[in-house]
Amino acid sequence: MESRNEPLLSNSENGNIALSSFTREGDIQSIKGPRDFFKEFSVESKKLWFLAGPAIFTSVCQYSLGAITQLFAGHVGTLELAAVSVENSVIAGFSFGVMLGMGSALETLCGQAFGAGQLDMLGVYMQRSWVILNTTALILCFLYIFATDLLKLIGQTDAISKAAGTFAIWMIPQLFAYSMNFPIAKFLQSQSKMMVMAIIAAVVLLLHTLFSWLLMLKLGWGLVGAAVVLNTSWWLIVVTQLVYIFSGTCGRAWSGFSWKAFHNLWGFVKLSLASAVMLCLEVWYFMALILFAGYLKNAEIAVDGLSICMNILGWAIMVAIGSNAATSVRVSNELGAGHPKTAKFSVVVVVITSFMIGLLISLVLIIFRKQYPSLFTSSEEVIELVYELTPLLATSIIINNVQPVLSGVAIGAGWQAVVAYVNIGCYYIFGIPLGLVLGYKMNMGVRGIWYGMLSGTLLQTFVLFWMIYRTNWNKEASVAEDRIRLWGGGLGDKGNGDAEK
């Protein structure tokens, strides 16, 4: 164990922050009482917030690009709001889930390789992910091209389907921005380079807000203006991050393009697919809530009201996803460095912290539930529906602020395939059928659908808690060491053949 830590402390010479800033030189000691607990809690909280603060800010800013476009669309008209909401939730939401999921394979591989000091493999992993995700994006283009017919097929109204389908075709450039951005984000996160991502995201968000107002409202471009600004904003993030990486700021982690990116692609695809299935099942779960609302009476009002709630829930979940990123970095780094007790304690700290954040956000919404709906729409019917749904929204925020953090533990430890099965059972076998029964058979409408699906999320959260409680963290540290060796970290191509098995 001592010998594996030695190379970690020399990385700062190559432009990387020494890992000792984030990973203990030794594992955490036994906690014998409340004083020890609070002392270690304080130490771990500082390390987590050093990562989570910029990560949360970045996630919120990037999510806000689509949310702000949706906000301005609500002031253009109800059809435009429904079109942007459906495209964001169904078409782009589907693609976002696929890309984020496949890109999250890098959280496991890059995080554990960095923890073990095998920096040379990080750039290779990112390039492999680019190859796979851009190939996937080409396939997903058909989803955008035939979006109108697909939306009609699943029961959306002709007007919403046509408007959302046209908007989807204009948003194809965003799809390829996703395929480049998510591998870049995981590459930078694994090295704890969160602050540069936060700065880039903040600048782009400010520009996006200004030009969305100018093109959509002031110049009257409507949905065309929304597409132009949203595509440009996402690609500006990608290009700026690439300039940062190529400028030499990542040291050994980026040594240029390599043919190794095309080695062992199938083994990498399998891990990427497991990650994609795990996260897609979560992203699509809430996308389904918007779809089911489209079958209710007064579908346009139901979709608009629910989309505003999902918009706010999405912002709150971005906070949790920022914590998710920090958790997966901490867990994967500590497991890669052979510190199982520290990895376990990181989980405890981040779950407590995320719960408190979710509770605070929920209280703010409850207090201002008469005021905030008017920010998104001028329709009195939609405002009233959002007001009625706010208590349910607040409850969802508390639960969904903890759940992504637990998923981050799974990603950091490499449990994606197991959690995918958990998600299928809790979400699609239990949650959605219960929601449909309550919503349609019991005539509870939007609330019934939401109650059922929230029950599925709650069940999945309990299952993940149980899995983490039962985990042998010493064994996970050993598995991480084997995974690094298997994927060729520091060993050239050795192990590539085995990775196929």
On whether residue 477 sits in a domain, the answer given is yes
pTM, to two decimals: 0.68
Residue 273 lies in a domain: yes
Residue 498 covered by a domain: no
Q: Supply the range of the domain harboring residue 327.
A: 36-492
247: its two tokens = 């400028």
Q: Which pLDDT score, from 0 to 100, does residue 480 have? A: 59
Report yes or no on 474 lying in a domain: yes
Q: Is residue 72 part of a domain?
A: yes
Identify whether the C-beta of residue 412 lies closer than 8 Å to the C-beta of residue 347: no
Alpha helical stretches, state H, 191-264? 194-212, 223-244
Residue 284 is predicted with a pLDDT of 67
For residue 21, with 0-12 CB atoms within 10 Å meaning exposed, 13-18 middle and 19 or more buried, which class applies?
A: exposed
- Structural tokens at position 147: 């979006």
Residue 4 lies in a domain: no
For the chain, the domain total comes to: 1
* pLDDT tens per residue across all 501 residues of the chain: 333 333 332 333 333 333 333 444 555 666 666 777 788 788 878 877 887 788 878 878 887 888 888 888 877 777 777 788 788 877 887 788 788 777 776 776 776 677 667 777 777 888 888 888 899 899 999 999 999 988 888 777 788 888 888 889 999 999 999 999 988 988 888 777 888 889 999 999 999 999 999 988 888 788 888 899 999 999 999 999 999 988 888 777 787 777 776 766 676 677 667 666 766 676 667 667 767 776 766 666 777 787 788 778 877 777 777 776 777 677 767 766 677 777 777 778 878 888 888 899 899 989 988 888 887 777 788 888 888 888 888 988 888 787 767 766 666 566 767 777 888 888 889 988 998 888 888 888 778 888 888 898 889 888 888 887 777 766 666 665 665 565 554 433 433 333 333
Query: How would you class 246 by CB atoms within 10 Å of its CB: exposed for 0-12, middle for 13-18, buried for 19 or more?
Result: exposed
* Contact criterion met (CB below 8 Å) for 84 and 73: yes
Is position 167 within any domain?
yes
Using CA atoms, how far apart are residues 476 and 487, in angstroms rounded to an integer? 16
Residue 202 lies in a domain: yes
Amino acid identity of residue 368, one-letter, is: F
DSSP letter (8 states) at residue 329: H
Tell me how far the alpha carbon of residue 348 is from its chain's centroid. 20
